[in-house]
Structure 1
Amino acid sequence: MSRPPFQFTIGSELQRLIAAVGPADEAAMQRARQRQAQLTKPAGSLGALEEISIRLAGVFGTPQPHPRGMAVIVAAGDHGVVAEGVSAYPPEVTPAMVANFLAETPWGRGGAAVNALARAVGARVYLADVGVDAELPAHPGLLGTKVRRGTRNLRREAALTRPETEAAILAGAALAVRAINEGADLLIPGELGIGNTTSASALTARMLGADVKNVTGRGTGIDDAALERKRQVVSDALARQGSDAADPLGVLADLGGLEIACMLGVMLRAAALRRAVVLDGFVEGSAALVGVALAPALRDFLFAAGECAETGHAAQLAHLGLTPLFRLGLRLGEGTGGVLAAPLLLSAAAALREMRTFAEASVPETGER
């Protein structure tokens, strides 16, 4: 008996969001490239910062971009697949870490790594419960966007329904609007949720047609036996044939997570509103794969922070055509890498915007620069 065809339906609100993502401003990039060539420095001497500044000109539609605020939006959600023993930590860690994000410390609210790093660079942190498998107490620092209490076990059935997936995406889009309205020009999607690298591995394998072993790593630091179990779980999920890469939203529903869908919404809305998106690591990369498949122009607004230590991240970045800014061996998540990278983007824009040209500085141009 033949299986029924996949349904490639997308709700009208999400369709409008996807359609709103247009390409970078090529004219602004060309003018920025011309300005970059006239700045008082040897050509190419600022390395990767020069191309970043040109890309930022395309994002913001001006040859002298002036991005300001930085915001990391951390989406929290749990995964039913944790029941398969794919993580070194139990699911109870997710709500406990939410409490840590909200804790009052001598240095300000939040005791997690991304809180500390964000304070160091002046970024604002938003925390959203989009799918934690617990009833969390109300807190002024916790944004209530819960779609459901965790996903279903993707090894055995689709993790989410399509309506649940779209609801999580649109919740992320609303969070992006809030962050932008409160001054953010650089948006950093982040995540919190035990089991999410298993989901990200399955998404990446399906979207890239990659071998499971090449995109499934140790996540929270599991041992060899658990890694083999995790790879088998991902293989079993793919073997269900519950989705097709030609239907990216269906893949996200089948194999994804609520926090992954939420981060996708952040990316799409940020791009639609012509803001830069700074990608952290592997889980964020899985959301970006789906996003670029839905809206190819989204790629123009994505900036890779670093290549993380998780297996498969390099393959994601290669597919997205993104060059990482650093390789620090990070694999924490939370948006930590993105927070570290955001000041580099601000610095790249400042150099393009504020440096004087040779003509402006009355500096003679002689010889090869």
Structure 2
Amino acid sequence: MNIETVTSQEISAKIDLKTKPLGALGALEKLAFQIASVQNTLSPELVKPHIIVFAASHGIASQGVSAYPSEVTPQMVLNFIGGGAAINVFTRQHGIRLLLVDAGVDYDFGKNERLIDAKVGYGTRSFTNQPAMTAVECQQCIEKGAELVKEVKASGCNVIGFGEMGIGNTSAASAIMSRLLNMPIAECIGKGTGLSDAQLSQKTAILTTALEAHREVANDPETVLATFGGFEIGMMCGAMMEAARQGMLVLVDGFIASVSYLCAFKMDSSIQKYAVFCHQSNEKGHRLLLESIGAEAILKLDMRLGEGTGCALAYPLLQSAVAFLNEMASFESAGVSQKE
């Protein structure tokens, strides 16, 4: 069997010779180049798109770091199951298959055909004075995320996005970002689900104290993930790494998903080739995180919802990038004179 080998120069030439001025389609041209490169073809296609939403409870939520109580996490999972959340609306709109995963919610959902039970535990511990997860739990998360992606890949899917739900997870993500990027915690946190200025000050103080309590912890990504992370963050990290290993396009949502990506990138930098950053969150630390890893998001809509909503909204732009590359005429085929 002959395996197609396409060079970067061939992909660039196909893009440049379309009936348009050089670079006139802007970011769509970068997307088309990336997709064609990942798929190693001049005629890429997007097949059976999926978004997986991982949900988990966080012990840190009991410390008053969120505007919402921790019981909102299972309540929102039930809303996902019922089809009433934003991610349900957008995936239906764009023909994306949505998978819901209980990574570790502090609630018994029972058997439900619309919810995948991958529960590692009933929420993490508060990392104010102990690690959020054990090393074993963290590894379980990474492995379970990988297993789920292998199953999705077996269905024929080649493009997959990731979202999350977990009250308190912006605090977990901010702490991870602070440690892995060596940034002051105040630069990494924002108002999350809508904190007041006073609540934000309290959140900053709590996380500052927590980071100080773990100052001796090693700075390798798995240890930092276990110390401050959540079951959904760990599972998403494992899922992203496996998707890249499988040669799939990895759609990265907002702040929490980008922190999962950061952990994955620190473990295996080859994921970078496959990652599409779908939107820049309104969460304060997200812009700095993207800048620090040299990433640029497709959309900037001042959103801070999570759930994978940015992936669903950006997906039609990936479709447009593929469509112009495959269907738009070249100067030669259209008989159009090129720039002199």
The TM tier, using the shorter chain, reads over 0.9
Q: Which runs of 5+ in 1 are unaligned?
A: 1-24, 104-109
| Aligned mate of 1:90, from 69, 83, 96 | 69
Q: Which residue of 2 aligns with 1:180?
A: 153
Quick check: 1:62 aligned with 2:41? yes
Q: Matched residue of 1:69: which SS? A: coil
The alpha-carbon deviation at position 344 of structure 1 amounts to: 0.7
Alpha carbons 1:219, 1:310 under 8 Å: kept = yes
Provide the C-alpha distance between the structure 2 equivalents of 1:250 and 1:29, rounded to a whole number of angstroms: 37
Quick check: 1:78 aligned with 2:52? no
Quick check: 1:34 aligned with 2:5? no
Matched to 1:186, the amino acid is: V
Q: Which residue of 2 aligns with 1:308?
A: 281
TM-score (norm 1): 0.88
Q: Which residue of 2 aligns with 1:193?
A: 166
Q: Matched residue of 1:189: which SS? A: strand
Matched to 2:79, the amino acid is: N
Matched to 2:165, the amino acid is: L
Q: Which residue of 1 aligns with 2:32?
A: 53
Provide the C-alpha distance between the structure 1 equivalents of 2:20 and 2:39, rounded to a whole number of angstroms: 24
Provide the C-alpha distance between the structure 2 equivalents of 1:157 and 1:63, rounded to a whole number of angstroms: 51
Q: Which residue of 2 aligns with 1:294?
A: 267
The structure-2 alpha-carbon separation of the partners of 1:98 and 1:50, relative to structure 1 and needing over 3 Å to count, comes to same
Q: Which residue of 1 aligns with 2:319?
A: 346
Alpha carbons 2:5, 2:41 under 8 Å: kept = no
The structure-2 alpha-carbon separation of the partners of 1:26 and 1:206, relative to structure 1 and needing over 3 Å to count, comes to farther
In terms of mean alpha carbon deviation, does 174-183 or 140-149 score higher? 174-183
Quick check: 1:243 aligned with 2:217? yes
Q: 1:36-185 maps to which residues of 2 (within 5 A)?
A: 36-103=15-82, 110-185=83-158
Q: Deviations over 1:23-77 (max 9, x none)?
A: xx99543321111111121111111100111111121111221122221100000
State the identity %.
Answer: 38
Provide the C-alpha distance between the structure 1 equivalents of 2:334 and 2:290, rounded to a whole number of angstroms: 39
The alpha-carbon deviation at position 242 of structure 1 amounts to: 5.0
Q: Matched residue of 1:312: which SS? A: helix
The alpha-carbon deviation at position 354 of structure 1 amounts to: 2.1
In terms of mean alpha carbon deviation, does 53-62 or 194-203 score higher? 53-62
Matched to 1:59, the amino acid is: V
Provide the C-alpha distance between the structure 1 equivalents of 2:240 and 2:5, rounded to a whole number of angstroms: 20
Q: Which residue of 1 aligns with 2:188?
A: 215
Q: Which residue of 2 aligns with 1:21?
A: none
TM-score (norm 2): 0.95
Q: 1:250-265 maps to which residues of 2 (within 5 A)?
A: 250-265=223-238
Q: Matched residue of 2:284: which SS? A: coil
Provide the C-alpha distance between the structure 2 equivalents of 1:26 and 1:242, rounded to a whole number of angstroms: 48
Provide the C-alpha distance between the structure 1 equivalents of 2:116 and 2:320, rounded to a whole number of angstroms: 31
CA RMSD of aligned residues (A): 1.5
Provide the C-alpha distance between the structure 2 equivalents of 1:231 and 1:202, rounded to a whole number of angstroms: 10
| Aligned mate of 1:277, from 238, 246, 250 | 250
Q: Deviations over 1:329-351 (max 9, x none)?
A: 10000000111011111211221
Q: May I ask how many residue pairs the two structures share in their alignment?
A: 336
